[in-house]
């Protein structure tokens, strides 16, 4: 029995949640329970499950990426909720949080140089997204966060495309969508 490829599930979890959050960052929708729910369920838990399956199959890169970014989403939701308990992350602290994720993502991007073009696009745009969000928090310039939101929508859409391409290319046994 052939093992299924868990990457499309993880990419859907990442892509769809990233699109929704960055619609907010771009100023198009408010931060709402819809984004938070997606952050926990699809962005967090789904990516962790996909990452564990990748690790089970001996795929270190995919396992590391999906589990790390799954926990990113869970930690982000915790950060959003702790102000209700009297613990709030100020903009500078949030900037450093995002900067650390940008650095991690830059190293993951280097790993994608052996992968297909769409994977390089996803990780390259994600690194840029984290750096722009960090810069927006450090400077307080809302325009930077808006630009980050546009980059994030592109990043999420790229991950979504990669997921759909992998599913449909496998389903039809040929490359319908280029990778």
Q: How confident is the model over 84-131, as pLDDT tens digits?
A: 677 778 999 999 999 999 999 999 999 999 999 999 999 999 999 999
pTM of the model: 0.95
**7-172 has which fold?**
1.25.40
Mean pLDDT by 10 residues, the chain (179 residues): 92 98 98 93 97 98 98 94 77 97 99 97 99 99 99 99 98 95
Q: What's the pLDDT score for residue 81?
A: 82
- Residue whose structure tokens are 């450093």: 96
Q: What's the pLDDT score for residue 27?
A: 98
Q: What's the pLDDT score for residue 80?
A: 87
> Any idea where the domains of the chain sit in the sequence?
7-172
Q: What's the pLDDT score for residue 1?
A: 74
- How far apart CA 120 and CA 110 sit, in angstroms, is 9
Report how far apart, in Å, the C-alpha atoms of 28 and of each of 15, 18, 24, 97, 128 are: 17, 14, 6, 24, 20
Q: What's the pLDDT score for residue 89?
A: 84
Question: For residue 169, how many C-alpha atoms fall within 13 Å in the half-sphere facing its CB?
Answer: 13
Residues 6+ apart with CB under 8 A from 152: 18, 19, 21, 22, 25, 26, 125, 129
């Amino acid at each position: 029995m052939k093992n299924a490829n868990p990457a499309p599930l993880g990419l859907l979890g990442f892509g769809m949640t990233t699109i929704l959050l960055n619609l907010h960052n771009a100023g198009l929708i408010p931060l709402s329970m819809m984004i938070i729910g997606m952050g926990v369920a699809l962005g967090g838990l789904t990516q962790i499950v996909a990452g564990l399956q990748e690790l089970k199959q001996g795929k270190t890169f995919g396992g590391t990426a999906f589990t790390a970014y799954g926990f990113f989403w869970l930690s982000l939701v915790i950060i959003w909720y702790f102000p209700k308990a009297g613990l709030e992350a100020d903009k500078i602290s949030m900037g450093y949080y995002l900067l650390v994720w940008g650095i991690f993502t830059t190293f993951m991007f280097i790993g994608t140089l052996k992968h297909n073009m769409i994977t390089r696009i996803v990780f390259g745009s994600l690194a840029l997204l984290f750096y722009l969000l960090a810069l927006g928090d450090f400077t307080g310039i809302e325009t930077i966060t808006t630009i980050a939101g546009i980059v994030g929508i592109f990043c999420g859409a790229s991950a979504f495309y990669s997921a759909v391409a992998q599913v449909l290319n496998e389903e039809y046994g040929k490359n319908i969508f280029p990778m």
